[in-house]
């Protein structure tokens, strides 16, 4: 059987490959380890500029941890 004889099979194959490519590109965009570094940097800047608000945020996080 040739590929030209079964256009539905070719369509399914192209669809499956495009799903894998799309999933890989979305997954790599979500799972970047650089976001951890960016978040840490933003947290340091926030705590340096607003130490009182930072203490409140820290206490809230600790309160949530103890309630788990």
DSSP string, 3-56: GGG-HHHHHHHHHHHHHHHHHHHHHHHHS-THHHHHHHHHHHHHHHH-HHHHHH
In a domain, 51, yes or no: yes
In a domain, 1, yes or no: no
The model's pLDDT over 40-60, given as tens digits with 9 standing for 90+, comes to 888 889 889 988 888 988 899
Most confident of 1-5, 16-20, 22-26, 36-40: 16-20
Average pLDDT, the chain: 80
Please count the structural domains in the chain. Answer: 1
Are 54 and 46 within 8 A, CB to CB? yes
- Does the structure show a pLDDT above 80 at 63? yes
pTM of the predicted structure, to 2 decimals? 0.43
In a domain, 42, yes or no: yes
In a domain, 12, yes or no: no
Domain that holds residue 33: 27-68
pLDDT of residue 3: 54
With CA atoms as reference, report the closest residue to 57 among 37, 36, 65, 34.
65
Are 17 and 10 within 8 A, CB to CB? no
């Amino acid at each position: 059987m040739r590929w030209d004889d079964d256009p539905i099979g070719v369509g399914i194959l192209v669809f499956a490959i495009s799903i894998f490519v799309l999933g890989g590109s979305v997954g790599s965009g979500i799972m970047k380890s650089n976001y951890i570094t960016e978040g840490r940097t933003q947290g340091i800047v926030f705590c340096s500029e607003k130490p009182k608000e930072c203490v409140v945020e820290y206490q809230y996080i600790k309160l949530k941890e103890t309630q788990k």
